[in-house]
Structure 1
Amino acid sequence: MIMELTSSIHHLFTESKTPHVVQMHAGKLDKMKVNEWAQANEMVDKHQIVEMINIDGAHLFFGAEAEKNSIMDLDFVVQNQDFDFLLDLDSKIVQVNDGEIAVPVYYMQQKKLSIGDRIHIKDGSFSRTYKIVAFVRDAQMNPSIIHSKRFVISQGEFQLLKQNTGESEYLIEFRLRDSKMISEFTQAYQNTSLPNAGPVVNYNLFQLLNALTNGVVAAVVILVSLILIVIAVLCIRFTMLATIEEDYREISVMKAIGISERNIKKLYLSKYVVMAGLGSFSGFLASLWVNRLFMSNMMLYIGAAPKTWLHYGITLFAAVFIFAIVVFFCNRVLRRFNYISAVEALRSGSMGETRISQNRLNLSQNRWLSVPVFLGLKDVIQRMKMFRLLLLVFIISSFMMIVPINFLHTLQAPSFISYMGVGQSDMRIDLRHSEDIEQRYAELIDYVQKDKNVLRYSPLVTSQFKVLNSEGSYDHLSVETGDFDVFPLSYVNGAAPKNENEIALSDANSKDMEKKIGDTVVLIVNGQEKTMTVSGVYQDVTNGGKTAKARLPYNQDRVLWYVVSLDLKDDGSQISDKIAEYEQAFTPAKVTDLKGYLYQTLGGTIHQLKLVTVLALVVAVLVAILITSLFLKMLVAKESGDIAIFRSLGFGLTTIKFKYVSMSLTVLGAGVLVGTILSNTAGEWLISKIMASFGASHIVFVIDPLQAYVLCPLLLAATIICTALISIQSIKESSISKMIIE
């Protein structure tokens, strides 16, 4: 998956000729000034200014319904001529004619669109219908966490839209002679008076955001795979020791007649080498097909790069590596032949001699438990060394089931909004930049204040400030200003800013700027340097995680967006009505509820993670079945004499079976308990490490107790009971007479 992801992103960026630096700009633009500066700059190889027509979602129809509740900016563009090409699903440059349109793959997935479907634009008396002829892969705006999407139309249609609807925005794009100059070039541009009413994004951020959704899924799969490798090693041990246990008479005979230990080891090893080879090669072939299931989302958005020998070589190497691990541990287990005699081979269990507790549990002292349950508990307690491997497998199986379930539930929970640098509220209203934006923003605040159904609200404005970096020059920092006590965030360290001299940094910015709580940051506020103290560090997986929060007056010259969050007085049943009310009153504002905001941003990731969670669940159950079966078969073979004695004393088969089931359930109970504790500690830590590169380094699981603490243990318990009953059927063959004959 990692090979597929990295090679596909590289292929997409190469074919589309993704720009190295993009300055987004809303408002009037002096193109001549930009062109003159770019032509005089030696770092610039190519540059272009891309004009976009931004259309309100209320005017765009996929079928009968308008995109009223969309958080996405709907931008209509013409195909670029020099670079930043928008590609179709065959990774070819999209070309459309009048009356045709190419739609982002995001909407293909969300709206279940097909080639030939129609899209309608209606704005007052203006109406236009387009036929979908292609779906667009956009290296800049592909991921759902980027709230802008580009539609490709012809030059004639673009001019028609420009004259009748929407507002113009611009992408000022640069391709550099050397991609290593991105940071230097960005600083040079920001230190000029060129158009900059919008954020600056670069090539590295595009790569990160494209890798984010599929990268999370791949990381979880890798986590499950590493756990499986541990279990595989235990499987090897169980399998070989169970086989040795069954063949101990044959082993003793071979040793007795003079066959060397080396040849006996070769006999066993050759069998496992053949099985390991077939298994590894079959797994490699199967992965070529199964991989498509988990990479379907990536292939839709990014496309599959042409396969090279390196792609197959590295993945085949992984299979060979697993084969080597199997052979290595087979050798390790078979080394035990070097230290036991022929007699020992007949006597010793594969786990080693049973370690009997000093404080023996006496059946005569039992008052509360049935005999088989008591004997099962007694066996587990007094033979801990034997059962510890089974315990470890149950711990790992529980861990492998619970961690993906908890992570999935966390992503779907409303509180996950806090990891996006946003406080939890019923509704969110985003105002786009326009010429009368200040007036519209003031009207919105006034409207909210007079709304009797609003319980609380918080207006927030994000604008850019210049910040002094470690090299003594200035970078641009996106700072959200307002009151952060109304809808508070969970801070990794520290707290929200309380006054104008404090600032909170996102986790990614804190690491990038090497700032911690109590350190100072110098901003340019109203033309003057202002020293700010870092009051807290929060998590943010949006905008590349590079944000900040302060109680400063916002920079009116560099406003990026306006947001108003609010809670309603009732239980939330009227949210849909309120959304419709505010959309109508403040069109083209984007009004969304919390659930809709999360779904539109993370829907693709959640869908892929569901597949991974189901995979982990199935694998954990199958592993539990396999190991329990191997272990009990080995145990029954080892204790065939004891079972025969039990039967001669009058114990029924059901009673003896119940003993082994109770042993398995006792170990399972301890394993689930430890596995659950590890899931909520080590599991959180591992997921946090995975998410750290995306701006969230301190994930706290939102746990569904029914799923994590009831359904998962019950599923494992039912599996273990059925497996135990099937695996110990061979006790029917144990009898005193047979033991005497043997």
Structure 2
Amino acid sequence: MLGKMWRKDIARNKLITAILFMFIMISSLLVASSASMLLELFRSVDDWFEKAGVPHFVQMHAGEIDQREMDGFSSRSELVKEQQTVEMISIEPDHVYFGPSGESEDGSVMEMSFVKQNKAFDFLLDLNNKRLDVLPGEIAVPIYFMQQHSLELGDTVRLAKGSFSKTFTIADFVRDAQMNPSIVSSKRIVVSDSDWETLKGHFDEKEYLIEFLLHDGERTSEFEQLYLASGLPHQGTAITYAQFRLLNALTDGVAAVVILLASVLMIVIAFLCLRFTMLAALEEDVYEIGVMKAIGIASDEIRQLYLMKYRMIALTASMAGVLLSLFAEQAFMANRSLYMGTAEKNALSYIIPLLGAGCIFLLVMLFCRLVLRRFKRISAVEALRSGSTSAKGRMTRLLKLHRSRFIPVNIFVGIQDVFVRLKTFGLLGFVFTLCFFLIIVPVNFLNTMKSPDFMTYMGAGRSDIQIDMRQTDDVAQRYNDMIAYIQHDSDVEIYAPLVTSSYMMRSDDGVYEKVSVQTGDFSLFPLAYLSGAAPATNDEIALSYLHAKERGKQLGDTLTLIVAGEERVLKLSGIYQDVTNGGKTAKALLPYEAQSVLWYMVSLDVKPGVAIGEKRAEYAAAFHPAKVTFMDDYLSQTLGSTISQLQKITALTLAAALAIAMLITALFFNMLIVKDASDIVIMRSLGFSLKHIRLQYIIRSLAVLMAGIVLGTAAAGSLGQGVVSMLMSFMGAARVEFVVNPFVAYMLIPLILLAVVLITTLFSSLTITATGKSAVAAK
């Protein structure tokens, strides 16, 4: 009997049942997919790091190294399991030619380091996560360049400098656990041992990675203090195992969290849709409910009949979502699979998505129980007498047709009905608000990341050109020559020399830690500070958000640094945002010593009308081997992978939101038209044509949609920015302000949503003819 009831109910409400099924299935799909993405992301990172033998502590260093001192330190320390020093040959991008294009990499922001395969640990892996074995004449290129230039196996890479030229054949592509992400502006390229020795004879710029594998990775911080206190080389950035994990998980981690947030919005929409459907079903079945109550069937028993129907829909939809997530996994995880590989699946790989779908099922059933509590409030007598579970609204007293002298009748009737049934139409408006929010937040975030203003979240003020000089024997002299050159360049409007040096900072418990502090004039290319301002005197310091959070510092607190061999107490003047260098940087007006300098930098703006590309080329030739970067290129190259992922997510959320808008509009107006059947007959008898009645429904949808767009825009600018800021705070940007494209955000997207809703409403209103006839027949 129950099966017969369900079949008849589904046959009578095919569209409603299908839409409910779709919403629950998509919610289950997104939850299962995002949970699986996060699980597989961390499993893949762990598996990859284990095969690569990632070091626990790496000290980058430019300058000479005494390996005997390093060996002595390692043998004396009980923390060190193994140590190796990796020598890298740094080759300028303008000497490197990828593929048959004949154009060099001049203009690339990536620092290219040619290395041979390591012997002890920190292995460079191929696309199967196996150790690379490169033969003479062959080369293995990072995945980053493979994507940038659409490289394939068998393509060539040519190195040319003066009379020297050598061509390699690409034999494989590199997964490098240290330098894989595009946000890391250094890349290791692998050649054979013999070819590396050849290159060493023609390219003399070197850099070292001093790497340590520890017995206990949990004691990395303790080892870092020990290393710094030893006086061993440290002219460069120090990076730990935890930072390598964060950098590699960043792009796909953000994607997974964004999908999870989208799934939460989808669940809310599914519940709203479910509530409306259930209430409409109760309204339609009120006579039958009244009869059942009159003959003595208890409210709980009647409720169970309805629950069994929704239980069946929720269960099948949730399972369908899980099955679809298995097929969608490749699309969601393509970037992760390429950059990290895929860990072998275990039981958790299937249990976690099932648990996610199970949560959706349980939430749906709980929500159904809450909605169906109103069975207890339905009186059998009232149900049989009035045929309704609700009363008319009171707004009819305020909105009278005879009071409208300027608004056309059909427009007035449509708007009036929205106010009269504000609770009913409010549900549709809330869904439209969520749909627009779901579209506009990813679009605005994507536009923000592509904007040149995003530089301010990377700890640097916006400028046209940035020039970086790394440590070499004569770097101080070359830096002074460069400043003199720029100072006398009439094309330069403004410039700011900045020097980043290594200082020792004393923590509150008396332990000294190494920090990188940038010095210079910070008023020329200012940052937007979260709180406070840039240091204005030599007894002030500014910290990045993550740095201040880690140390528990607030404005006005003091920090102690070792400057010129003496302790100096500095007052915290400001906290800024920075997603570079692990999000832990500082700025101060301090004297620096040549031996403690990590790198030199100049930011500059050229005068209006000056070709930035030509000026960049001029400086690249004049200041060689300094890295001269056009800052718009820097953003696109370093954040390219993240932007690409975000573009895919934006396209997905746009398609999902438009589908939701279409489905909920179709569901809402089909049910509304059935419910309004008797009212439509009365309007037809009063002389309203079908065209006029359809126009009234279109006016209703337009009014509700416009309200949803306005509310969605306001929510995106407040709640949306808050959610994005929360996500970005883990990277070091705690307050993201959207850069909005007015044409896209305020015209194009609203027009697309408007077209979808209007077309769907029009098609739904075509059923009015049949509704009217059936209503007349019933009379």
TM-score bracket for the superposition, by shorter chain length: over 0.9
Deviation at 1:326, TM superposition (A): 1.9
Residue 307 of structure 1 corresponds to 345
For the structure 1 residues 489 and 446, does the alpha-carbon distance in structure 2 shift closer, same or farther, using more than 3 Å as the test?
same
The structure 2 residue matched to 1:128, chosen from 166, 173, 182, is 166
2:663 is aligned with 1:626: yes
1:707-733 deviation line (CA, Å, top 9, x unaligned): 111122222222211111122222213
The CA distance in 1 between the partners of 2:766 and 2:386, in whole Å, is: 23
Deviations 1:332-354 (A, max 9, x none): 33332232134555688988434
Structure 1 residues 166 and 4, CA, compared in 2 at 3 Å: closer, same or farther?
Answer: farther
Give 1:5's aligned residue. Answer: 41
Partner of 2:751: 714
Match of residue 75 from structure 1: 113
Indicate the SS of the match to 1:718: helix
Which of 149, 161, 172 is residue 210 of structure 2 equivalent to? Answer: 172
Q: Distance in 2 between matches of 1:346 and 1:626?
A: 33
Does residue 1:482 correspond to 2:520, yes or no? yes
Post-superposition CA distance 1:109-149 (Å, at most 9, x none):
11111111111111111211111111111111111111111
Shift of 1:690: 0.4
Is this contact kept in 1: 2:286–2:389, CA < 8 A?
no
With normalisation by structure 2, the TM-score equals 0.92
**Larger deviation, residues 426-435 vs 474-483:** 426-435
In structure 1, what is the equivalent of residue 417 of structure 2?
379
For residues 596 and 433 of structure 1, the distance between their equivalents in structure 2, rounded to whole angstroms, comes to 24
Cα distance in structure 1, aligned partners of 2:385 and 2:322: 40
1:396 and 2:434 aligned = yes
Larger deviation: 416-425 or 376-385? 376-385
Residue of structure 2 equivalent to 1:191 = 229
Rounded Cα–Cα distance in structure 2 between residues aligned with 1:66 and 1:474: 45
SS of corresponding position for 1:529: strand
Match of 2:62 in 1: 26
Match of 1:108 in 2: 146
Cα distance in 1 between the residues matched to 2:386 and 2:555: 60
Q: 721, 725, 730: which one pairs with 1:693?
A: 730
2:322 aligns with 284
Distance 2:448 2:723 in 1: 14
The alpha carbon displacement at 1:327 in A equals 2.1
Match of 1:402, SS state, is helix
Which residue of the other structure, out of 649, 653, 657, is the alignment partner of 2:686? 649
Aligned match of 2:638: 601
Give 1:408's aligned residue. Answer: 446
Q: Secondary structure of 1:499's match?
A: coil
Corresponding residue for residue 235 of structure 1: 273
State yes or no: 1:725 paired with 2:757: no
Alpha-carbon deviation of 1:578?
A: 1.0
Between 175-184 and 333-342, the greater mean CA deviation after superposition: 333-342
After superposition, the CA RMSD in angstroms is: 1.8
Displacement after TM superposition at 1:331 (Å): 2.7
Q: Per the alignment, do residues 355 and 576 of structure 1 end up closer, same or farther by CA in structure 2, a change over 3 Å counting?
A: same
1:510-529 map, 5 Å: 510-529=548-567
Q: Distance in 2 between the 1:737 and 1:389 partners?
A: 28
Comparing 532-541 and 381-390, the one that deviates more:
381-390
Q: Deviations over 1:495-549 (max 9, x none)?
A: 1111211111101101011111111111111111111111111100111011011
Task: Indicate if the aligned counterparts of 1:648 and 1:736 stay in contact, CA closer than 8 A.
Answer: no
Q: Does the CA-based 8 Å contact 1:294-1:608 persist in structure 2?
A: no
- 1:154 partner amino acid: S
Deviation (angstroms), 1:260: 5.0
Alignment of 1:703 with 2:740, yes or no, is yes
In structure 2, what is the Cα distance between the partners aligned to 1:351 and 1:314? 41
- Is 1:661 paired with 2:698? yes
Aligned residues: 741
Is the partner of 2:672 in helix, strand or coil? helix
**Is the counterpart of residue 55 in structure 1 residue 125 in structure 2?**
no
Match of 1:40 among 41, 51, 76: 76
Task: State how far apart, in whole Å, the 2-side matches of 1:591 and 1:351 are.
Answer: 73
User: Using a 3 Å threshold, how does the CA distance of structure 1 residues 606 and 737 change in structure 2: closer, same or farther?
Assistant: closer
Cα pair distance change 1:354/1:207, threshold 3 Å: farther
Percent identical pairs in the alignment equals: 49
1:17–1:723: structure 2 CA closer, same or farther, 3 Å change rule?
same
SS in 2 for 1:65: coil
Q: Tell me the distance in 1 between the aligned counterparts of 2:561 and 2:360.
A: 53
Relative distance call for 1:346 and 1:628 in structure 2 (3 A) is farther
SS at match of 2:739: coil
Matched, 1:554 2:592: yes
- Find the aligned partners of 1:359 and 1:271 in 2 and give their Cα distance: 40
Q: Which amino acid aligns with 1:45?
A: K
Partner residue in 1 for 2:362: 324
- Of the three residues 459, 478, 481, the one matched with 1:421 is 459
Conservation of the 8 A alpha-carbon contact between 2:112 and 2:187: yes
Shift of 1:242: 3.2
- Cα deviation code 1:442-481 (max 9, x no counterpart): 1111111111111111111111111111210210111111
Q: What is the CA distance between 1:249 and its match in structure 2?
A: 4.7
Q: Which amino acid in structure 2 is aligned with residue 50 of structure 1?
A: V
State the SS of the aligned residue for 1:164: coil
Q: Which amino acid aligns with 1:457?
A: Y
How far 1:28 sits from its partner (Å)?
Answer: 0.6
Residues 678, 738 of structure 1: CA spacing in aligned structure 2 closer, same or farther, 3 A cutoff? closer
- 1:71 deviates by 1.4
Aligned CA distance change for structure 1 residues 110 and 151 (closer, same or farther; 3 Å): same
Counterpart amino acid of 1:88? D
Helix, strand or coil: the match of 1:429?
Answer: strand
Given that 2:674 and 2:771 are in contact with CA atoms closer than 8 Å, whether structure 1 keeps it comes out as no
One-letter code aligned to 1:442: N
Q: Give secondary structure in 2 for the equivalent of 1:680.
A: helix
Preserved contact between residue 57 and residue 238 of structure 2 (Cα < 8 Å) = yes
Query: For the Cα contact (< 8 Å) 1:462–1:480, is it kept in 2?
Result: yes
Structure 2 runs not aligned, ≥5 long: 1-36
Give the counterpart letter for 1:161 in structure 2: L
CA gap of 1:657–1:348, structure 2 versus 1, over 3 A, is farther
Whole-angstrom CA distance in 2 between matches of 1:361 and 1:61: 74
- The Cα offsets for residues 677-711 of structure 1, whole Å up to 9 and x where unpaired, read as 11001111110000001000010111111111112
Displacement of 1:636 in angstroms is: 1.6
Q: Does the residue aligned with 2:406 lie in a helix, a strand or coil?
A: coil
CA deviation vs aligned residue, 1:351-390 (integer Å, no higher than 9, x gap) = 8434313852111110121111111221222322222211
**Residue 509 of structure 1 pairs with residue 540 of structure 2:** no
Q: Kindly provide the amino acid, as one letter, of the partner of residue 716 in structure 2.
A: S
1:585 aligns with 2:622: yes
* 1:204 matched residue in structure 2: 242
Once residues 736 and 730 of structure 1 are traced to their aligned partners in structure 2, the CA distance between those partners, rounded to angstroms, is 10
Local SS of the residue matching 1:361: coil
Please name the residue that 1:87 is paired with.
Answer: 125
Report if the CA contact (8 A) 1:241-1:351 is conserved: no
Is the CA contact (8 Å cut-off) linking 1:242 and 1:350 kept in structure 2? no
Distance change (3 Å), C-alpha of 1:737 and 1:491: closer
Q: Is the 1:645–1:736 Cα contact (8 Å) retained in structure 2?
A: no
SS, match of residue 463 in structure 1? strand
The one-letter code matched in structure 2 to 1:53 is I
Report 1:324-473 matches (<5 A): 324-342=362-380, 344-345=382-383, 352-357=390-395, 359-473=397-511
The code of the aligned residue for 2:193 comes to Q
The reply to whether residue 14 of structure 1 matches residue 55 of structure 2 is no
